[in-house]
Structures are given as structure tokens and as C-alpha cells.
Amino acid sequence: MPSKLLDALLLAMPLPDTLESWRQYLKSQLPYPVQGAQTLFIGDPALVIVAFQHDKAEVLLPAMQWRHHDIHTVKPRSQGVVEARNGSLEQLLALVEDTIALRLKSFHECSSCGKRCAPEVLGSLQGEPVCRDCIKGRRVLF
Ligand SMILES: [Zn+2]
């Protein structure tokens, strides 16, 4: 069983070449803005999260919830893991693409301005989905 010290040492180590090349590929080749270092947040708003660890890359679906008017909590859901030892960049990219497609399906159209928005920026006004910008606009009007 790995000790806590070993975990800490592994976290501090640079990624193995395979994972580092995958990470660089995601950072430079995807048509989305990418933030983060060891954990990449791809897209704005985030469409997919890829968390690199010392021997694997985990692909996560950013599932956010709008709790109160402006507070959302991030609860990413794991979509799968690709291990450096027996996985490939193709597998990782397929997982990333599936996750992006899944995430985009959760987007909804604002009933006021028609923009497709991530669920965490949508509220509801008289039962209709309305984006945060439109809700803010209405607050100013009233
Ligand atoms: Zn709107």
C-alpha cells in the first residue's frame, strides 16, 4: 500500500513523458481555451476537465449546480481513466470528445436572449430558463 509520503513525492515529480506529451497535445491542439497545469480545464465555461496524475489521466465532466442566485458548486463526475502504461492518446481524445458532447447536451437556450448557456449560469424566471445576464438586466429594470 503506498504511503502518504510516497504519494506526496509522486505528486511533486514531473509527469512521465507519455502523460506530458498528452498534456501538451490537449493544451495546444484543442479548439478551446485551456486553463490549469496538472489539471486542465478545457473550454470557457469548462466543457471537460482532464486531471493528470503520476501514472494516469482522468477525464471528468464538469457538472455544476446553481445553488443560490450566484453561487455554484463544482461537482465533476469521472467519465473514465486512461493509464499511461496501457492507454493511448487516441483513447484519451475519444473520452475527451465524448465528455464535451455530453456537456454540450446539458446546455440550454435562454428563453429571453436565445443564447445557449451552461446550466450553472441559467436560472429560471416564471418557469423558463433564463441566463444570468438577462436576470441581472431584469433586476436593474425593476
Ligand atoms: Zn439570456
Domain ranges of the chain: 4-106, 107-142
What's the CA-to-centroid distance between 65 and ligand 1, angstroms?
Answer: 18
What number is the average pLDDT over the span 107-119? 91
Q: How many whole angstroms from 42 Cα to the centroid of ligand 1?
A: 23
Average of per-residue pLDDT values in the chain: 86
Spacing, Cα 107 to ligand 1 middle (Å) = 13
Ligand 1 center to 129 CA (angstroms): 9
Helices of type H across 17-131? 17-29, 89-105
**Which residues are within 5 Å of ligand 1 (an ion), measured at CB?**
110, 112-113, 131, 134
For β-strands 64-66 and 72-74, DSSP reports them as antiparallel
Ligand 1 midpoint to CA 140 (Å): 14
* Phi, psi torsion values for 83, nearest 5 degrees: -90, 140
Cα(119)–Cα(77) distance, integer angstroms: 15
Each residue's pLDDT tens digit, 2-57:
567 766 666 667 889 999 999 999 999 999 999 999 999 999 889 999 999 989 99
- The band of 136, judged by pLDDT with boundaries at 50, 70 and 90, is confident
